[in-house]
Structure 1
Amino acid sequence: MEPQHYVVVTIGSAGDLFPFLALALALRARGHRVSFLAPEQHGPWVRPTGLPFTGLPADEAVLRDPDLWHPTRGFGVVWRATRPAMARIVPFVAALPQDESCVLLVHPLALPEADLCRVVHPGVRIAAAYLAPANLMTVHDPLLVGPWRVPAWVPLSARRAFWRWVGRRFIDPVALADVNAARTPHGLAPVPSLMDWIASVPDLSVTLFPAWFAPTQPDWPQPLVRGDFPLFDPHGDASLAPGLTAFLQAGAPPLVFTHGTGNTQAAAYFRDAAAAATRLGRRAIFLTPHREQVPADLPPSMLWQDYVPLRALLPQAAALVHHGGIGTTAEALRAGTPQLVVPLAHDQFDNGARVTALGVGASLPAGRLNERRLVRALDGLLAAPGLAARTRAVAARFPPGGGIDKVCDALSLSGQE
């Protein structure tokens, strides 16, 4: 096959970055030219790989916005925060040689700008990579909107009407004016509804999660290629710090608590976590780069760490309690570690529901979290009959190499069309 130029674009936290970085490195290993566009703060992860990196602007003040983790208002915060970065995609592609064969591999929130690239670089191909099932709209079960599950008995016609209402009420008022304002200078017709249109933009859609985690739905976009979790950590093979190793060896496997690397509003969560671990008589590790969120006076049975490769830590943990980000969820599934998902917003509720359905964890929405409920949820999870066998069975489903070859094959073919 002829080498292609892949322009890889992602936004968000490390959980959004790492799967795209894994794909970019795999495509480069096949001899393709790869350009990588991501928030500037991810430069320390990307630049050491040698990939040509373009840092995109990111307003880190968004991490302090209380609505960032709101079940319905969170989308608006993310959308507004990412528009300056996404605006950089079109001039980047316009500056490429016009005769160069180019494939855009993008996060779904970059699809409106990717569509504009068809005007400035005719012939460009667009592939959307979906990190989590909730990023793909469907009327089929499990159907959750934030923490609210639509009952299975609700007919499909009512579900379609419900999604149209969600689009009119929560999505279009936030995003549609921006999308159409960007389309007008390029002579493109306005989009009537973002949710109805955006899934039609890609020439190819790719799921970065397997069918056993979320079966293909009849209303997902086509053509669709099913991938696996492309788990990646630039320091995944690093040994654990001596202090952490000593802690792990000093007693029973600990509970591990995290609420995401980008969450600066988790002080109450870590207070409840410390109190629950104390009541349960369990050792605990708290993972967050924001030390001020963790109680200052931790007893010897508890340890704070700013960062630890989950691949190395989770096999030594009794359970992982986390926010339900898809990368963290997948790491726990691969490690065979029981997990309690405490979702806040975005795709996290759906991920928690799928972990529960697999029988390898449970879910407790953050809005209902307190010490008592956390103790009860962890007690019930760790005492669940057959839990160890189910976690082992799920871990055995992970293919060597993260299943990246299948996705790269599909992307290579898309570049030849």
Structure 2
Amino acid sequence: MTHIIRNNSLSAPEPMGSYSQEDVVFLLKNLNEANLERSNEDREAAIQTGVHYSEMLPVEYQPTPEYLQLFHKTLRESAERIAYAVGIVSEIIVKKRGFKVVLASLARAGTPIGVLIKRYIQHVYKADLPHYSISIIRGKGIDQNAILYMLQRHPDDEIQFVDGWTGKGAIRKVLIEACEELQSKYGIQLDDDLAVLADPGYCAGTFGTREDYLIPSACLNSTVSGLMSRTVLRADLIGPNDYHGAKFYKEWLDSDVSNLFVDTVGAHFADIEAAARKEADRLLASPEETAITWSGMKDIQRIQQEFGIQDVNLVKPGVGETTRVLLRRVPWKILVDSLDNPNLKHILLLAKDRHVPVEEYEGLTFSCCGIIKPLKETSQ
């Protein structure tokens, strides 16, 4: 049994977000009073000259009516498919770990998926798993205060980390390093397994599919993630006993679809339950199919070389990551496996809206890949 380090300075979290407290508790500090938003162009210049992305927030993209219409259409068409993936992941978690589990979704893309996993296990097994959403930041690690809080509240439970999807595996690597650090610093032993709906990067051990397809929650920002901003870590705002920070955008309550998304997907749980259980059993009996190979990185290295991109962080593979590039970075171009790929309708619409060129790229493992514009000269 891991010895729990008590930090009595940790405060109970302030209620935040548009989900009910029964669905998720955000272990985040409210930064609503801080002026953190910067335009995509300013933010891009800052990031590429050394400012860490977690020290500022993008101005959130406000979708056009046409784009919102596409989100609703995609959600209707894919809700059952998403429910099936949720079912598979949930069944694997239960079969591997039982019910003494705390769900720790990685804010913010992991939050709606954590809500869905919690609801599925509640629906099928009548078990109410605690679910917290916590911050993990590339280059800075996981929120250790959030981990300590969960372990203090649930000393007999295991933590299951949850995210939406994988790309090249950057967050998975941060998670592995964070668990190693917690072990050496506190003697806390955590399983760094990451449960995701889609694992096209082949870097998660628990997944619903490895196909690179659209999870509708990737289409939008805060309005599908409980009205929460990205997480923030800045020394002048976050003290040693604080959780990482975020903003709660209450002003967008009228356009919030966070609960609509989880309600729509959750309505299909009864339909997919038997099939999901069967597929989970098959995957658990097929270690060769669930092996972690990091094969997504091979695509990235080829693209880096071909386009003369020195910084690997400017290459964002997969539908989810490409969507993020179009919503909150300064895209250079979008590579797609085929212009006819039905998973890419929203990508093509966003690219058109932002005047970003789209190119077919032969032999792409992922459905698409977003390339951020390098602001310094490249060899290209």
TM-score, normalised to structure 2, is 0.29
TM-score, normalised to structure 1, is 0.27
Higher helix share: 1
Higher RCO, Cα 8 Å, sep 6+: 2
Q: For the pair shown, which has the larger CA radius of gyration, 1 or 2?
A: 1
